[in-house]
Amino acid sequence: MSALFEPYTLRELTIPNRVWMAPMCQYSAAPDGPEAGVPHDWHFAHYAARAAGGTGLILTEATAVSPEGRISPYDLGLWNDTQVEAFRRITRFLVAQGTVPGVQLAHAGRKASTAQPWKGGEPVGADAHGWTPLAPSAVPFKEGHVVPEELTVEQIREIVGRFGDAARRALAAGFEVVEVHGAHGYLVNEFLSPHSNHRTDAYGGSYENRTRFALEVVDAVRAVWPEDKPVFFRISATDWLEEGGWSVDDTVRFARDLQAHGVDLLDVSTGGNVADARIPTGPGYQVPFAARVKAETNLPVAAVGLITDAEQAEKIIANGEADAVLLGRELLRNPSWARHAARELGGEVRVPDQYHRSV
């Protein structure tokens, strides 16, 4: 059997294959009012198509734990029960197709309140449904961006509680995996990196202080998430700075801390916290970071980043570089990528009865 299409079990949850969908924002929810942050027909069709195409696990886009935690005013959220009810429609369908539904919980920090990418992605103000972002320190993401409001300790504790509340709602919505978004320059990542965290209190300075918020968030999520279901953590393994940033050595060290706090898998990405970082992209360019964590710790990992063809994905799993692959753009191009890859590699995926004529 193809390694890519072997089932994978974490705690008591078995995922039918190692082809997983990475979180990708759709920027398509209502920006305000009672429908703010609520998934609708676009989101249902988007996720349903990838489930029908054989994807083993689907992680939703970055789903905000509070209104001010959205990347844009058009992001999804899990801060109220209206959102829970709408997500149930999606998770029911995914489960019916044999796909595991997962949710990525997020707070955008200083990169919040921006326009949709196809409208430039720059910060927006109150006249475009925007707000003042929050961050560990009053340091903007880049020149020309809004200076964020530095969080007080009381506000930090409130956000930690928001993650726990959102995880509780995620369970009620039918999700079976929850992932804490600690990557790409958003709030958790901002605390981790000395590039963006200039605090001098218990949440800044030393490695132990800079990782405190992330571990408190993980603890809040794990406290309400069932013991038989896994918790993931997405990390940017490096800021791509020679000095003064978060490094792969930090990531390996932190992976052990996360595992001790109940995290079951590290979703390994890179970058996003330094606006002008030079990133040498290419096919599978982030896989070595996942491979290093897997080689030096006992924490399972998933690899992501320009993984596009079946043979490439198969080798990553077969060579032991990662336990699963997360596809992004390739699944946007081809919702049935998993089914096509299974045919190429001799693996098997569940095919909906309605699509049997296509096998």
Compute φ and ψ for 77, nearest 5 degrees: -145, 170
Return phi, psi of residue 184, to 5°: 60, 25
Cβ–Cβ under 8 Å, residues 167 and 219: no
Catalytic residue among 186, 203, 207, 355: 186
Nearest to 10 by CA among 201, 332, 264, 270: 264
The CA-to-CA distance between both ends of the chain, in Å, stands at 18
Please give the Cα distance from 296 to 158 (Å, whole number).
Answer: 34
Given a contact cutoff of 8 angstroms between Cβ atoms, the answer to whether 100 and 15 are in contact is yes
Task: Examine the residue annotation and report whether 74 is marked as an active-site residue of this protein.
Answer: no
d(CA 350, CA 359): 11
- Tokens 């489960």 appear where? 95
Report how far residue 50's alpha carbon sits from residue 72's, in angstroms, rounded to the nearest whole number: 24
Active site residues: 186
